[in-house]
Structure 1
Amino acid sequence: MNIDKYKHTHVDILQRIDRLRALTRTGVEDNAAAIAQGVVALSAVVKLHLAAEDQALYPSLQRSGNAALAQLGLRFQQEMGPIAAAFDAFAHAWNTPARVRGDEAGFRAAANDVLRRVYERMRQEDRDFYPAIESGA
C-alpha cells in the first residue's frame, strides 16, 4: 500500500506546528493575526488528513485480509478520536486574532498541550504505524 501522501502531509503539518511555535516565541500579541491564520490553515490540513485516513486508509486496512494490520489500524483510529476532538476544540477556540490576543496565557497553554499531542501522535504513526503498513506486517 502506498502511503506517501499521508507521510507527506505529516511533514506539512509538522512544519505548520513549528511555524506556530516560532510565532508564539516571538510574541503572541504582535503575531496574533498570523497565529490565528496559522491555526485556521493547520486545521484545514489536519481535517483533510483525518478525513483521508478515515475514508480511505483505515477502511483499506480493514479490507486488506491482514488481521494484524486491520487490528493495528483500528487501534490507531480509536486512539486518534480524543486527539482529534481536542485539536478541533483548539482550532475553534483560537481561530481569530482577538481570541489569541485576548488570552495569551490560555492560548499558550492550549497550544502547548494540543499541538504537543498532535506532534507526538504523528511521530508515533511515522515510527510505528506507517512502517508496519509498508512492510505488510
Structure 2
Amino acid sequence: MASVTVSTTLYRDHHASVGQLVDRIESQLAAPSVASDPASLIATVRELFGIFAVHLSLEDSALYPRLLAHRDTRLRSTAARFQAEMGDLRGRFDLYRTRWPGPVAVAKDPAAFVRETRDVVAALKHRIGREDRELYDLIDRAGLASVA
C-alpha cells in the first residue's frame, strides 16, 4: 500500500460553503414567499447542488482513491463505508432535482417542496457533519496532511 498525503482543508472549506447555503435555504424555507415566489429559493438550491457536485467530484477523483489505497486499514475501511453511503445520498439528490426542476413544479405543491427540501438539507447536513467528525478528523489524526 502506498503512503499518501491528504489535506482536508479544501474539503472542509467546501463543507463550510455548503453550510452557509444550507443556512440560507433554511431561512428561505421559513418565509411565506416560498408559495408565491419560489425563484430565489430555487436559485439557492441550485447553487447548493452546484457546489456540492464539485465537492463530490473532487472527493471521487482525488480524496477517496488516495484513502482507499492507504496502508492504514481503519482509514481504508472508513473511506470505503463513506463512499458507499454517498451513493445513496447522491441518488436521493438526483431524485429531488428531477422532482423539483423549477418554480413551476414548486408552485404545484409548495408544501411538499418545503418538506422535501428540508429532508434533503437535513440529510446533507448530517452527512457533512459525519464526514467532518469521522473521516476528516481521522485523516487529520493520522497525520496525512502535507506540510504547505
* Same fold, judged at TM 0.5 (above): yes
- What residue in structure 2 maps to residue 21 of structure 1? 26
Q: Partners of 2:20 and 2:134 in 1: how far apart?
A: 20
Task: List structure 1 segments (4+ residues) > 6 angstroms apart after TM superposition.
Answer: none
Gaps of 5+ in 1: none
Could you tell me the TM-score, scaled by structure 2's length? 0.86
- What residue in structure 2 maps to residue 117 of structure 1? 123
- What residue in structure 1 maps to residue 15 of structure 2? 10
- 1:112-137 Cα offsets, whole Å, 9 max, x none, are 21111111111111111110011118
Percent same amino acid at aligned positions? 30
Bigger CA radius of gyration:
2
Q: Partners of 1:20 and 1:30 in 2: how far apart?
A: 16
Which has the bigger relative contact order, CA under 8 A and spacing at least 6? Answer: 2
Aligned residues: 137
2:111 to 85, 105, 117: 105
Equivalent position amino acid for 1:51 in 2: S
Q: Partners of 1:17 and 1:30 in 2: how far apart?
A: 21
1:75 to 77, 81, 84: 81
1:42-53 equivalences under 5 Å are 42-53=48-59
Q: CA RMSD in A?
A: 1.4
- 1:85-128 Cα offsets, whole Å, 9 max, x none, are 11122123223111222211110121121111111111111111
2:91 to 67, 85, 107: 85
- 1:27-62 Cα offsets, whole Å, 9 max, x none, are 212440001111111111111111111111110001
Greater helix proportion: 1
Gaps of 5+ in 2: 1-5, 144-148
2:71 to 46, 65, 68: 65
Is the CA contact 1:23–1:31 (under 8 Å) kept in the aligned structure 2?
no
Could you tell me the TM-score, scaled by structure 1's length? 0.93
Q: Partners of 1:95 and 1:36 in 2: how far apart?
A: 8
